[in-house]
Amino acid sequence: MFRSVFTKYFAMTTAVITLCMVILGAVLLQFASNYWSDQERERLSLTAQQASSLLSNYERVLDEELDENGQVQWWLKLDDVTRVSIKAIARSLGANIYFVNLAGKVQNLALADRKLAAQDGVVMPDSILNKTIETGEFYELGNLDGTFPQTCYTAAVPVTVRTFGLVGIVCVSSSAGNLSQYVVDMLKMFLLSAVVVMIISFILVYVISYQMVKPLRQMAIAAKRFGEGDFSYRVPVRGKDEISELSKAFNQMAASLASVEGMRRSFVANVSHELRTPMTTIAGFIDGILDGTIEPDRRRQYLQTVSDEVKRLSRLVKEMLDVSRIEAGELKLNISNFDICDIMLRILFSFEQIIDQKGIEIRGLEETHSIMVEADADRIHQVIYNLVDNAIKFTNPGGAITLGARVESERVYVTVHNTGKGIALSDLPHVFDRFYKSDKSRSLDRKGVGLGLFIVRMLIQAHGGEIVARSMEGQYAEFEFWIPAPKKKQLKSAQENR
């Protein structure tokens, strides 16, 4: 069963909010209950002390009787003023007030809640009476071992009269149901508030979750479009958070994929053309020789053309294999010490015929001197050959090519500079990209497929160096690369071996 990120996030957030509300409610109710109990204890204890003080100041309210043991036990015989005062205190608290003499017999003084009233004359357990007298205070939530018919809060303090001394204790009791009612009221208020807060929270979470997940949905749509070959779709970028950074990265990936796809299509078209043209030429000339269309005295000329086209196919295949080997990390360098200027001269000699045909002036040779490098001689030859080949292709007739080599900061620099139309500013950042051809019209570069400079850069980087291109459109183009210079000990050893 499919569950979207939005559904999971919304459900998780809703569960967390609900759980927090439940925990908050439980903590709140516990706190309210404890608060009520503390307040009730303080209230009842204070009332008991007030009643005790009131009774202690009125000796005439006492009446005596003899118990079964012949001991004097006191009863309260309240006058009107004292009775009214005690009842006023009881009504204001909603509590019952009792007097308990030293024999433990209970006397009702004021009853605000008759359901909780103890019967006159009922005997309170000695443990409660003694504890109150010993500690000076007693508090309990219960029925005092059956003294009261229901559970209630009870506070008790001793009653001492100046003339008679300790005569008993006074108890003040209130219903425990008041706490339940208080808790219920608090719970209702909390639930009402919680429902309102949760509804608002759920709406906000829904909206925020939808907005957060929306870019992910757009990315999913974009990924499907990319899978169908459409790289034009872009994810809208909003804000400056992680999602917006991801959207930017996604759009950059889309642009890169579009660029790669464009280069791939261009490459396929170029390779198809490069393969089709020479193969068509080869097939046509060979068929012409076989069926006698081409006269015998001209066959050598056409066979030479066939040979050139075969070499062109061989060069294309070699470049493809080089790219495959470099990308697979299988390129192995055969490092040796050699004179890089010597390689430059030999390459120029190999282009002597075409240089003469175009009337190109070669400069910089008079300043060259022996510069030893430690590298793969074949690969460096391939690099310089490609650069010189490109320079000759794009140098205007009667123009000039300048070659240079120097040692600087423990690096060996090689420069190939040619006059001509140069490289357009928009093409300059891409000249080393795979499959890229700045001469899209193919008017000058009829043999290349956009792999030469890509291979050059990869070979230089494999040697630990770098290559850069500079140009001023309509004036010149210049390529310069560097590779690490050999250490002095290695250079001295190489010179001795020479």
Could you tell me if residue 198 is inside a domain? Answer: no
Residue whose token pair is 């490289």 = 423
- Same-domain check for residues 448 and 415: yes
Q: Judge contact between 85 and 43, C-beta under 8 A.
A: no
> Is-contact 235 250, C-beta < 8 A?
yes
Q: Write down the pLDDT at residue 418.
A: 95
User: Are 378 and 316 in a shared domain?
Assistant: no
What confidence score (pLDDT) does residue 62 get? 52
Do you know the residue count of the chain? 498
Identify the three-state secondary structure at position 27. Answer: helix
Segment 475-491 mean pLDDT: 83
| pLDDT of the residue at 71 | 46
Q: How high is the pLDDT of residue 488?
A: 63
Q: Are residues 353 and 276 in the same domain?
A: no
User: What local confidence, expressed as pLDDT, does residue 267 receive?
Assistant: 67
Taking the C-alpha atoms of residue 360 and residue 307, their distance in angstroms, rounded to an integer, is 27
Residue 495 has pLDDT above 70, yes or no: no
Domain boundary among 160, 180, 200: 180
Q: Are 405 and 470 in a shared domain?
A: yes
For the domain that residue 406 is a member of, what is the CATH number? 3.30.565.10
The answer to whether residue 200 sits within a structural domain is no
Q: What is the pLDDT of residue 42?
A: 87
Kindly state the tokens that stand for 304. 């030479």
- Decide: 479 and 468 in contact? Cβ < 8 Å: yes
At 217 the pLDDT is 79
Segment 468-489 mean pLDDT: 89
pLDDT band at residue 270 under the 50/70/90 scheme: low
Examine the pLDDT at 442 and tell me if it is beyond 50: no
Of 413 and 279, more confident: 413
| pLDDT computed for residue 259 by the predictor | 78
Q: Are residues 22 and 163 in the same domain?
A: yes
> What are the tens digits of pLDDT across the range 144-168?
777 777 788 889 999 887 777 787 8
Q: pLDDT tens digits, residue range 24-35? A: 888 888 888 888
pLDDT at site 141: 84
pLDDT at 437: 67
Q: What is the pLDDT averaged over residues 268-289?
A: 77
**What pLDDT score does 72 carry?**
44
**Is residue 108 one of the residues assigned to a domain?**
yes
The answer to the question of residue 418 being in a domain is yes
User: Is 464 inside a domain boundary?
Assistant: yes
Average pLDDT over residues 264-275: 70
**100 vs 118, more confident:** 100
Q: Which two tokens stand for residue 54?
A: 């009131």
Q: Which of 257, 202, 201 is nearest to 228 (CA)?
A: 257
Highest mean pLDDT among 7-11, 185-189, 296-300, 345-349: 345-349
**Residue 328 CA: distances (Å) to CA of 26, 92, 324, 432, 474:** 64, 94, 6, 19, 38
On whether both 317 and 423 belong to a single domain, the answer is no
Report pLDDT for 452: 82
284 and 343 in a single domain? The answer is no
Answer yes or no: do 107 and 19 share one domain.
yes
pLDDT on residue 441: 42
Identify whether 264 is part of a domain.
yes
Provide the pLDDT for residue 338: 93
> Taking 50 as the threshold, does the pLDDT of residue 1 lie above it?
no
Answer yes or no: do 142 and 161 share one domain.
Answer: yes
Q: What is the pLDDT of residues 309-346, one digit of tens each?
A: 787 778 777 777 777 777 677 778 889 999 999 999 99
Confirm if 108 and 90 have CB atoms less than 8 A apart: no
Lowest mean pLDDT among 175-179, 224-228, 368-372: 175-179
171 and 102 share one domain: yes
Domain C-terminal end among 180, 196, 226: 180
Domain end, chosen from 327, 352, 369, is at 327
Segment 334-363 shows an average pLDDT of 91
- What contacts 169, CB < 8 A, 6 or more positions away? 99, 100, 129, 132, 133, 138, 156, 157, 158, 159
Q: CA end-to-end span of the chain, whole Å?
A: 76
435 occurs within a structural domain: yes
Mean pLDDT on 181-194: 83
The answer, as to whether pTM is greater than 0.75, is no
Whether the per-residue pLDDT at 66 is higher than 50: the answer is no
Name the amino acid, one letter, at 153.
Y
Tell me what the mean pLDDT of segment 110-128 comes to: 77
**Residues spanned by the domain of 119:** 5-180
**134 shares its domain with 256:** no
Mean pLDDT of the residues in the chain:
80
User: Comparing 39-43, 388-392, 398-402, which segment has the lowest mean pLDDT?
Assistant: 39-43
Q: Percent of the chain, pLDDT > 70?
A: 86
Report the CATH number that the domain containing residue 163 is assigned in CATH. 3.30.450.20
**What pLDDT score does 448 carry?**
54
103 closest CA partner among 162, 147, 163, 169: 169
Residues contacting residue 299 through CB under 8 Å, at least 6 positions apart: 289
Strands (E), 5-119: 62-66, 72-76, 96-101, 106-110
| Digit-coded pLDDT (tens) for 218-244 | 788 888 887 777 777 777 777 777 777
Q: 484: pLDDT confidence band, cut at 50, 70 and 90?
A: very high
Q: What is the pLDDT of residues 238-262, one digit of tens each?
A: 777 777 787 788 788 888 878 777 7
Question: Where are any strands of DSSP class E within 146-185?
Answer: 152-161, 165-175
Can you count the helices (H) and strands (E) in the chain?
A: 11, 14
Total structural domains within the chain: 3
Separation between Cα atoms, residue 371 and residue 322, nearest integer Å = 27
The answer to whether residues 100 and 165 belong to one domain is yes
Q: In this structure, is residue 203 part of a structural domain?
A: no
pLDDT of residue 74: 53
